[in-house]
Every structure is written in C-alpha cells, then in structure tokens.
A and B are shown apart, each in its own frame.
Chain A
Amino acid sequence: MGKDFSSKTPIYLQIIQHICSQIIRGDLQPGEKLPSVREMALKMGVNPNTIQRVYMELERESLAEARRGQGTFVTENRDRLQQLRLDLKHDRIKTFIADMTEMGFTTEEISLGLVEYFAKSLNEGDK
C-alpha cells in the first residue's frame, strides 16, 4: 500500500511531484478528474488532510481546478502544462548538475559525459 515517504521532503510535496510526473507522462490527461480526497488518501496511504493540501497547492499553481460539487480536475490550459514540462526538466537538470559539481566534475566533463552516455546507449540499443 501507498508510497515510500522516507526522504526528508515534506510528504505533501512528494505527492505533488508524483502527480506532476503523471501529468507530464500523460497518465493523467488535461481535464481529467483527480480521485476524491479520500480515494487519493487511500491510494497513497496518507492522511486525507495531506491530500487536501496537495489539491489546494495544485490549484494555487493553476495545475488543477476545483469545480463545485464535482471534484478536482487537471487543468486544460496547454500553456500551463507545457510550462510544467519545462520547469520539471529544468529542475531535474539543475539537481543533476549540482550533484556532479559537488563531486568536482567540470562543466566540460559533464557535457562530454552526457554525449558519450547517449552515444553508448544508442549503440547498445542498435544491437
């Protein structure tokens, strides 16, 4: 049941990240209804208050909208979803670069490493 919330990031933020990835992957479509607060709480194995907060934050970020008496829906605003995609890409790259820099890799080493990695995995994919 549920997700593993052992990392130090607040649980509600981990769930927001999880839902955002689902939106980017297309597992959740624009305009799709999100599970009710209690259904989502059961699915994630967390307190319903936490899901309430998650939905509120998603609304505040214009990624979801609450419709009175109907529930919460993924936004249909394509521009906003495209922005989310770019933001997530930027975030992940930033984290990766920060980790690599901390270990002492230079910008050149990192970019060369990426090029080599892609070339290698492309070759392996051909076989």
Chain B
Amino acid sequence: MVDPVITFEHVTKMIYNKKIIHDIHFQLPKGKIIGMVGPNGSGKSTILKLMAGLILPSKGNISLYGNHITRRSSQSIAYLPEKSGYYPFYTVRETISYHNRIYKDFNLEKATDMIKFMRLNANEKVSSLSKGHVSRLKIVLALSRQAPLILLDEPLTGLDPMMRASIIKGLIAFLDIPEQTIVITTHEVMEIEPLLDMVLAIRNGEIIKFDDLDNIRELAGGNLLDWMTNTYT
C-alpha cells in the first residue's frame, strides 16, 4: 500500500488480564473515510484509543506515517471522544480559542465558519448547550484541526434524526479529503454508509472484514446493514 497513514502490526491489548484486542494487523490508506462497525463490546473504542495513542498496546506495534505512536501523537491526530471533556464554564468561543492555543494545527477561520454552518451560538456557555449542540461543538473542534488523521467515536449516538443529518452534512462540507483520513465508529450504519469508502468490521476483538464498501455491498447483494445482519447474527 502506498503511504499508509496508520499501521497496526500484530497488536494485542490486555486490560486486567482480559484480552480485548487479539493480534490485529492492518493498514489504513490515506484520504479515505473508514467506518468501523461491530456490536457493543467488540473493541471498536479500544482500537480507536490505540490509534489515538491514548492507550498503548500490550503486544505489537502501531505507527503513524512510520513513526511509533505515543501520547505525543495527539498533536497530529484529532480524536473526538464519545464522552465530552470540555470545561462547562467556558463559552463556545472560549472553548474554540482554548483548542486554538493547545493545537498547533488548529484552523481558527475554519472553526468560525463551522460554528456558523452548525448554527452554534459562540456566546453560549458549554454547560447550557443541549446534547445535540455539544455533539456539534465536538465535530467543530475535531474538524477544525488540519490533522492527517481524524478519529470520531460515535459522533451520532443519542441524537435526533435532524441533528444526525446536520452533523453528516458538516462532515461532508468540512472534511479535507484527500488530505485527511477519517475513522468513524457508529451504530447508525444506514446514515453513515453513503459517507464511507471502506469498512473495518470488528467482532470479539478481531477484524472479520476490511474492504471497500462497494465490495461488501456486492458480496451482500445489498447494503452494509444487510451484510452486517448476515454476518453478525
């Protein structure tokens, strides 16, 4: 593969003597949107945290553009956690400027555009934002970075259909394809499917499929959900 963004080499992750990830091995190509799917507890979030350098593998090696991943890698990886960790006493604008200070690759102009696009009020306190608006803010913070790798953990979970549609629209409008590579975990497969180039399917801490979406659709004779229904049940 030409110029893989991230490489997992025989990665195993144990947590409290329990094997969460079993000897996984793959490379993500540049400029693609990759959907990571699988049932709850299959290891998706763990794989994302390993990519982000937030946890380290028990065995094996992970590299970003050939460099070993460490906690410092967060300077070149934008990670959107499932749970938010923002200061509730900051306004939206203060949260943006805080992120602008801690990340060198933060694009303030893009963030300002996205705030408008997502119809967020820059003067509102984070503590008074609705769940849907916190999710939009998280997307703004992740996509405003010119990081080569963007990791989104369940960006659509718990949101109403209109909010999910507006977040998907924001992704299409502001992702910098083909410069950025994006990994998204989600259970909202029907909605995310038109966005995907590739699918990474996980079960019990192992990769059961990593292929182009079109190949999987052809294999299933249907859409991604059909394939998952056949494979996981």
Interface residues of chain A, those whose CB is within 8 Å of chain B, are 1-3, 5-8, 10-12, 38, 41-42, 44-50
Contacts and interface: CB of A to CB of B under 8 A. Distances in A.
21 contacts: A2-B194, A7-B223, A8-B217, A8-B218, A8-B220, A8-B222, A8-B223, A8-B226, A10-B217, A12-B214, A38-B172, A42-B172, A45-B168, A46-B172, A46-B194, A46-B195, A47-B172, A48-B177, A49-B178, A49-B197, A50-B197
B173 A38 contact: yes
A49 B31 CA distance: 9
A45 B217 contact: no
Interface string B168-204: 1100110101100000000000100111110000000
Nearest to B177: A48
B208 interface: no
Contact of A47 (B165, B195, B217, B222): B195
B152 interface: no
Contacts, number: 58
Main secondary structure of the interface of A (DSSP, over half): loop
Contacts of A46: 172, 194-195
Nearest to B196: A47
Contacts of A1: 165, 168-169
A93 B194 CA distance: 29
Contacts of B213: 11
Given A42-B169, A44-B194, A45-B172, 14 more contacts: A1-B168, A5-B193, A8-B218, A8-B223, A10-B214, A38-B173, A41-B172, A45-B169, A45-B194, A46-B172, A47-B33, A47-B194, A48-B172, A50-B194
